[in-house]
Amino acid sequence: MVAVTGTTQLAMQQAMSRNISLLTTMLNRQNQQLSSGLKLDGLIGVSHQAQELGALKSKLGTAENYTDAVKTAQNRTTLYALSLEKIIDLATDAKDMMIKNRDPFFAKTAAPAAQAGTLLDQIGSILQTKDGDRYIFSGTNYNTNPLNGTLSGLPAVYGAGAVPGVTPGYDVPFQPVPDSVPLNQPPYLNLGGNIDNYYDINSVGLYVDDNERLSYGVSAAEPGFQRVIDAVLRFRDATADLGVDDPNYQARVDDATKQLDLALSDLKSTASRNGYKQQHLGEVQDRHARGIDLLKIRIGGIQDADPAEVATNIAGLQAALEASYMVTSKTLQLSLVNYLR
């Protein structure tokens, strides 16, 4: 009888040990689920929705890639906006300089050519702005510096004694036409790059969605940049007549000022166009953000564990485990009593 009882108790103890081990494993899996927030066994746990889950994750990856690309474009349009604002400020300074130096007596003591050179180099520095290793004002020549050197180092474009409205070619501003004849190009463009590419701002863009492409380029060959540089060059070159033919010097300064007014109008138009691109990119980014949020919700509905359900399961398993430990403890106590008898 004692042997039978001992065997029965041993079997019970072994059964309780197996039960405790099973409950512990189940509890660990529930804790893992609570920690990760995902249902157990990955796609195995949602096998009937695995295909839908895969498709949703693919869409999410695509949307996130578009979001990253749009963010890059937003950074560049921000650089364009800041650069245009600075150049417009410099153009305003240039106009103030021209008005002050229109008086030959004042100009003879103010070093107007040096002032013009400083402004030219400040403008040139902005036009060489880079985003990483990319020149943002080079059109599709983004690996090429758009300028062929310092703007202040450009030789005289309008010679001494040139008369506005009389000297051939004087009143013909540089036209942004995409031909490859260097003589027809602004004197500051780096001819080491493909000329047409400086004007190809429409190819500077990206796909912001599967069937939507947005161009956002601003080039150093834009009419506004051409005219502001040309206006300052006209003013600088006019100083060759200072003290030699003061009336013609004044006429040339007036001509440079008119060109500068056109430049300011063009620059503001370019800034407005860039502002529209910024707004459009922001709208696209918001649209993608909403789409990504919805995709994450749908993905979560398939693969995410229900925290309340998991917590309930854990509480139940903990209670069962505690009860199993209590039963095991009492069984061991009875075994000891029987043994002592």
Q: Is it the case that residue 21 has pLDDT exceeding 60?
A: yes
> Is residue 44 in some structural domain?
no
Residues 26-41: what's their mean pLDDT?
58
Q: Does residue 43 form part of some domain?
A: no
DSSP-derived secondary structure letter, 190: -
Count CB neighbours of 270 within 10 A. Answer: 21
pLDDT of residue 157 exceeding 50, the answer is yes
More confident residue, 282 or 338: 282
Residue 222 has pLDDT above 80, yes or no: yes
CATH number at residue 57: 1.20.1330.10
Residue 45 domain-assigned?
A: no
DSSP state of 189: B
Distance CA 56, CA 37 (A): 18
Convert the pLDDT of each residue in 165-219 to its tens digit.
666 555 544 443 343 433 357 888 888 878 888 888 888 988 888 888 999 999 9
Q: What angle do the packed helices 223-238 and 246-303 form, to 10 degrees?
A: 150
Say what the pLDDT of residue 90 is.
98
Higher per-residue pLDDT: 309 or 165: 165
**Do 239 and 334 reside in the same domain of the chain?**
no
* 66 and 159, same domain (yes or no): yes
CA distance linking residue 269 with residue 88, whole number of Å: 11
| Domain identity same for 73 and 179 | yes
Neighbours of 126 (CB within 10 A): 19
Mean pLDDT of all residues in 98-109? 95
Average pLDDT on 94-117 reads 96
Q: What is the mean pLDDT of residues 67-76?
A: 94
Q: Are strands 134-135 and 130-131 parallel, antiparallel or unpaired?
A: antiparallel
Residue 27 binned pLDDT confidence (cut-offs 50, 70, 90): low
Q: Are residues 138 and 109 in the same domain?
A: yes
Both 178 and 312 in a single domain? Answer: no
Structural domain including 325 reads: 2-37+306-340
pTM over 0.85: no
Q: What is the pLDDT of residue 176?
A: 38
Q: 264 and 190 in one domain?
A: yes
Do 148 and 31 belong to one domain?
A: no
Across the chain, mean pLDDT equals: 81
Which residue is it, tokens 């690309």? 69
Q: Which residues pair with 205 in a beta bridge?
A: 215
Structure tokens belonging to residue 312:
């309930």
Residues 284, 286: Cα–Cα separation, whole Å: 5
Q: What is the pLDDT of residue 103?
A: 97
pLDDT score recorded for residue 1: 42
Q: Is residue 216 part of a domain?
A: yes
Q: Looking at residues 228-246, what average pLDDT do you find? A: 95
Q: What is the pLDDT of residue 115?
A: 96
**12 shares a domain with 128:** no
Indicate whether 47 belongs to any domain: no
Q: Which residues pair with 212 in a beta bridge?
A: 209
Average pLDDT estimate for 64-93:
96
How high is the pLDDT of residue 175? 42
Q: Looking at the domain assignment, is residue 152 inside a domain?
A: yes
Residues facing 215 on adjacent strands: 205
Q: What average pLDDT score do residues 71-92 get?
A: 97
Residue 220 has pLDDT above 50, yes or no: yes
Residue 48 lies in a domain: no
pLDDT of residue 89: 98
- How many independent structural domains does the chain possess? 2
Same domain? 146 vs 271:
yes
pLDDT at position 251, please? 94
Q: Yes or no: say if 33 and 40 are a contact pair by the CB < 8 Å rule.
A: yes
Q: Are residues 191 and 318 in the same domain?
A: no
Same domain? For 174 and 206 the reply is: yes
One domain for residues 125 and 149: yes
Q: Which residues contact 306 (CB under 8 A, 6 or more apart)?
A: none
**Does the residue 293 lie in any domain?**
yes
- Over residues 245-293, the pLDDT tens digits come to 999 999 999 999 999 999 999 999 999 999 999 999 999 999 999 999 9
